Amino acid sequence: MGVRYRICLLFTAAISLIAVNANGQDAPSLGDLARQQRQQKEQSKAVPGKDPKSSKVITNEEIPEHAQTGSLRKVTAQENATAAVSSSGPKVSAEQWKSQIFAQKNQVTTLQNQIDELNESIRFAPANCVANCVGWNERQREKQQHVERMQAQLEDQKRRLEDMQESARKQGYGSSVYDP
């Protein structure tokens, strides 16, 4: 029985050594990967006229059909640039203006609805309150401050909408485009 045990033990040890050796060869080290990435970056910068592609992540908040979900959508740099286009800049198509203005109107409406909803939820504790009145009223004051910040954002969004409408009007489009 001792011989069989030794053979089995040697066989298991040999398999373990082979497995460890094979596993070590599967993946390059993290340092090698970092070095390779750095070299690829340097090579792409060295080639004139070739810019590495930049990727942009699009979230659900940036899709117009999700503008009514209640979360504020951040305005991208492209939209800011489009809004700033004047009559001397490149002409943007009527459909592009219409969709951008419509999306901006949706943002304004959504923000206004959020402000109204938050205003309606503000309820200060009555004078005859018994317990936890100070904490309750403090939370209501925080809500009021949040409403004030949101109203400042609303004014900014309205101003942006007016700028977009004015730019579309200056490019010669009728009210059906800049006031859909």
Predicted TM-score (pTM) of this structure? 0.47
Q: Give the DSSP H/E element, type plus range, for residue 7.
A: helix 2-26
Each domain of the chain, given as residue ranges in start order, spans 62-180
The whole-number mean pLDDT for each consecutive block of 10 residues of the chain, a chain of 180 residues, reads 81 79 64 82 67 62 54 44 47 79 89 90 82 85 91 92 85 70
Distances from the Cα of 178 to the Cα of 24, 77, 87, angstroms: 64, 20, 14
